[in-house]
Structure 1
Amino acid sequence: MTTHTGEMLTLERMRADIAKMVHEDPEAIALDDNLMDLGLDSMRVLNLLVRWNETGIGLDFSELAEHTTLQGWWEVVQRRLAQIQDSPTR
Structure 2
Amino acid sequence: MPTSTLDRERIVADLAEALDVPAEQLTDDVNVLDLGLDSVRLMSLIERWRAAGALRADIAVLAADPVIGSWVRELTAD
TM-score, L = length of structure 1: 0.76
Task: Give the number of the structure with larger relative contact order, counting CA–CA contacts within 8 Å between residues 6 or more apart.
Answer: 2
Q: What residue identity is the alignment partner of 2:75? A: V
Secondary structure of residue in 2 paired with 1:24? coil
Task: Give the equivalent residue in structure 2 for 1:72.
Answer: 70
Greater Rg by CA:
1
Distance 1:17 1:57 in 2: 14
Q: Is structure 2 residue 27 aligned with structure 1 residue 30?
A: yes
Separation of aligned partners in 2, 1:10 and 1:57: 10
Percent of paired sites with the same residue: 33
- Structure 1 residue ranges without an equivalent (≥5): 83-90
Moved over 6 A (4+): none
Find the counterpart in structure 2 of residue 56 from structure 1: 53
Equivalent in the alignment of 1:46: 43
Report the TM-score when normalising by structure 2. 0.86
Question: Per-residue displacement from partner, 1:41-87 (whole Å, max 9, x unpaired)?
Answer: 111110100100002222211121111110011121233xx2xxxxx
Cα root mean square deviation, aligned: 1.6
Residue from 4, 8, 12 that aligns with 1:11: 8
- For 1:43 and 1:21, the matched residues in 2 are separated by 10
